[in-house]
Amino acid sequence: MASTVRASLANAEKKEKQMATDDFYKEAQKEHIRDIITAGPTEKIEEKDSKKEAVVESPKIEKKTETVQEAAQEQKKEVVMQQDSNQPTDDFDDFDDFDFVDHYGDEKLDDQSMLLPENTAKSAINCGFVGVGGGGGKMAKAFLDLGFNRTILINTTHKDQPDGVPDDHFVLLDGSDGVGKDVVAGRKLLQENATLVEDTLRAKLGKVDWLFVCASGGGGTGSASTVLHNTYERYLASVQAEGKVVYIVSTPSSQELLNPTIKTNSQMLKDSVVNSPYIVIDNEKQLQLLRGKVGMLGMYPTANRVFAKMLAQVLKLASESSPVQTFDTKDLEKCLQQDGRMFMGTCAVRDSKANSLGLQIFKACTERSPCPPPEGKPHTGMLLLVVNSDIASDPVASNQMESAISYVGGRSETLFSGVYVRNSVPGLIAIMALGGMK
C-alpha cells in the first residue's frame, strides 16, 4: 500500500515538473512574439513568378542556425556577383586555359640574340667562316680581321685562342684541354659536342649560304674537323642556305712531316674532304714564298692574311660590275660548288703587251700560289684581270688579255672570266682559280 502511494506521488511530481517546463517555453515564446510586434514587422523580398511580394516572416527559434548559414551564403554570392560584374561575361570562365593568346599579341620580348655582327667585307655571296683547331682558328682569324664578322673559332683548349679574337667569336668545347694530336680523341670530342656546334652556328652566324671551314692538318682537333660535316650541312639546311660547305685545309711543312703522327693526321684530313669542294694550302710553299721577307713570328700570320685577302678579293669582284667583262655571282657559285680540289693563285704583270701573256699569267700564278700545282683537267676555270684605264684602252694590250683568257680557258672545261678597271694598279693583276680537280 505504501509503495503504491509513493509511486503515485512520484508520477504526479514528474508531471508537475514537465508542465512547468512547457509553460516556461510557451511563456518565453509569447514574450518573444510580443517584442517583435512591438518593434514592427520584418519584410523579405522574394522573387516568385517574376513578381515581387512583401512577406512578413515570423522568426523561428529552431531554425536560427540555418538562417545564419543561408545569410552567409547569400552574402558570399553577392560578393562574387559584384566581382563578376566588373569583368566581361563570356564563355572563358578559366582564362588560364587560353593564356596562349597573349603570345600572339603585339608585345615583343627583348632580343637576347647571340647573332654576330653582319659582315662588313664586300662579298657577292652571303658567307660565314669556321676555324677548327689551332691552325684552323688562325686561318679563320685572318678572315675575321678583313671584316667577315660571321666567323667563329672552335677549339678544345683556350690556349689556342689567337690574340685579338673576341670571346663571342671563340667556342671552347668542354671536356678536354686539347687532344694531344690524337685524331680519335678529337673525333670523339667533336661528335659529343655536335649539337652544341650546330646550335652555335645557328645562333651566332644566323643565315649564311656558304660556309668555309678552315682546318690545319697534323693536329688532333683540326684533322678531325670533317667529322662535323653532317652538322655543317644540317645547319645550312636549317637556314635554307643556297650554297655548300667549302673546306680550306693546310698541310704541314717539310720538317713537320718528318713526324709520323703529324704526317698521318694530315693525310687523314686530306682524304676526308675529297668529296667536297676544298682548297689545300701548302705550308711548305708558303714558307718558301715568304722566307727572307718576314721573321718566324710573323710567318704564318702573314701567310694566312695574304691568302685571305686573295679569296676576299674574288668575293668582292664578283659583287661589282665591269665596263669590260663581269664575273658575276652565279659564275662564282659555279666555281665554288664543284666537288674536288680548287687551286688559287695570283700574280702581277708589268708588261701587259708582252707576247704569250696567257702562258706568263698561268705560269706565274702556279708558281706563286700557296696551293699545290693544278692536276688533270679542271672542271671549272676562273681568270680575273684587273687593269688601269690606260691598259684597258690599249688595243695591243686588249688583244693580249683576250689571248690570256683563251689560254687559261683551254685548260678547263668551263671558263669564267672578268676584266675590271682600277686606276690605282700600276699594271695588270691576275687572279686564277681552277676547280673540280680530283
Q: Domain ranges for the chain, please list them.
A: 120-317, 332-438
Q: What is the pLDDT, as a whole number, of residue 81?
A: 57
Domains 120-317 and 332-438 agree in fold: no
Check: CB of residue 198 under 8 Å from CB of residue 234: yes
Contacts 24+ apart (CB under 8 A), 54-62: 58/33, 59/32, 61/29, 61/32
DSSP SS3 for 431: strand
Handedness of CA 285, 291, 296, 302 (dihedral sign): negative
Q: What is the pLDDT, as a whole number, of residue 57?
A: 47
C-alpha–C-alpha distance, residues 183 and 92, integer Å: 61
Assigned CATH for 332-438: 3.30.1330.20
Give the CA distances from residue 237 to residues 14, 111, 206, 211, in Å, rounded to whole numbers and listed in that order: 103, 24, 12, 12
Assigned CATH for 120-317: 3.40.50.1440
Look at residues 281, 406, 268 and name the one whose alpha carbon lies nearest to residue 343: 281
The pTM is what? 0.75
C-alpha cell at 64: 536560427
Q: Which helix (H) or strand (E) holds 128?
A: strand 127-132
C-alpha–C-alpha distance, residues 285 and 4, integer Å: 143
Look at residues 223, 278, 269 and name the one whose alpha carbon lies nearest to residue 245: 278
> What tens-digit pLDDT sequence spans the chain (438 residues)?
445 445 555 555 555 555 455 555 566 666 666 666 565 554 444 444 444 444 444 444 444 445 555 655 666 566 555 555 555 555 545 555 655 655 554 444 344 578 999 999 999 999 999 999 999 999 999 999 999 999 999 998 887 788 899 999 999 987 667 788 899 999 999 999 999 999 999 999 999 999 999 999 998 899 999 999 999 999 999 999 999 999 999 999 999 999 999 999 999 999 999 999 999 999 999 888 888 888 877 888 999 999 999 999 999 999 999 999 999 999 999 999 999 999 999 999 988 888 889 999 999 999 999 999 999 999 999 999 999 999 999 999 999 999 999 999 999 999 999 999 999 898 899 999 999 998
C-alpha cell at 61: 527559434
Tell me the H-state helices in 239-320: 260-272, 283-290, 296-317
- The DSSP output letter for 204 is I
